[in-house]
Amino acid sequence: MNTIGYRPTNPRELTRAGDRVSFLYLERAVINRDSNAITATDERGTVHIPAASVGVLLLGPGTTITHQAITLMSDSGSTVVWVGERGVRYYAHGSSLARSSRLLEAQAAAVTSRKARLRVAREMYAMRFPGEDVSGMAMQQLRGREGSRVRRVYRENAERTGLEWSRRNYDPENWDDGDPVNQALSAANSALYGAVHAVIVALGCSPALGFIHTGHHRSFVYDVADLYKADLTIPIAFDVAAEEEGEIGPVTRRQVRDALHDGRLLERCARDIRRLLLPEEDPESDAQDDADMDFDNVSLWDEYVVSVRGGISYGDAS
């Protein structure tokens, strides 16, 4: 296909990260491009997918994607993530929607300051414990509170669905060894991680610079995803395991996808990240979206002022 005539998309024309479909999982298909849509072809036929409406494309085993499809996804600011069987392993991801380093700089500044990092960590725990004052708690206390809360959530969902529950048991090397609840939890959390990862890189943040988790290339992904598990992936996993209808992996992914879309999780996630990293600004402001996406503005660092304009010769004209 000759694509010489395609005009690169202006960032202002792109769909905001929070307004996109959360994720689309494909496996054993050929991914190509047709105009401004990507196509997925398997033995059942071909489906056209508007690239700019997808937050993250999860590519599972058996997928082949063309250079033109990747070009379109990159131009649309959609993240492509290569994952393992049933979507439970992460391998790599593609481009970012952001054209600004503003949020990344705020993230790096906060994670390298003990006081600021503790503020963000406490705020994350406060979002999980509505109505509780965690402002004076140390990290050890917060971890203990969170552990008790998660055990209670598992127990409550087991009682609600009538399922037996002992503990979380996840082995990425042996999916079939887990019981139905643990299989569903693995599939649900993997889908959630993919969507959260897409929002993080779309906003220009680093998936690696976590505030509660640390030392892993997806630490911040786990931080943010943990904000939503009790209300989202854990109930879905227990429901899927209790219903016993169809293969657990695909059924769980579809239910998580629908819940992410109906609950507008991408929008909520983008708002929460801004609230955590830029607490002094209004996370609802459209101006923030422009600042985060806009717009190939390269400045030069200066030790006396924040920055000076780039693209200018500062040499002595004489």
Annotated binding site for Mn(2+): 146, 213, 226
Q: Which residues are annotated as a binding site?
A: 146, 213, 226
Give the three-state DSSP class for 55: strand
Q: What DSSP string runs through 66-105?
A: -HHHHHHHHHTT-EEEEE-GGG--EEEE---S----HHHH
Q: Specify whether the CB–CB gap between 176 and 86 falls below 8 A.
A: no
Give the three-state DSSP class for 22: strand
Q: How would you label 186-207 residue by residue, b for 16+ Cβ within 10 Å and e otherwise?
A: bbbbbbbbbbbbbbbbbbbbbb
Output the CA torsion 54→57→63→65 (10° steps): 70
Q: Specify whether the CB–CB gap between 82 and 50 falls below 8 A.
A: no
Task: Report the distance separating Cα 77 and Cα 15, nearest Å.
Answer: 9
Phi-psi region of 312 (alpha: psi -120 to 50; beta: other; left: phi over 0): beta
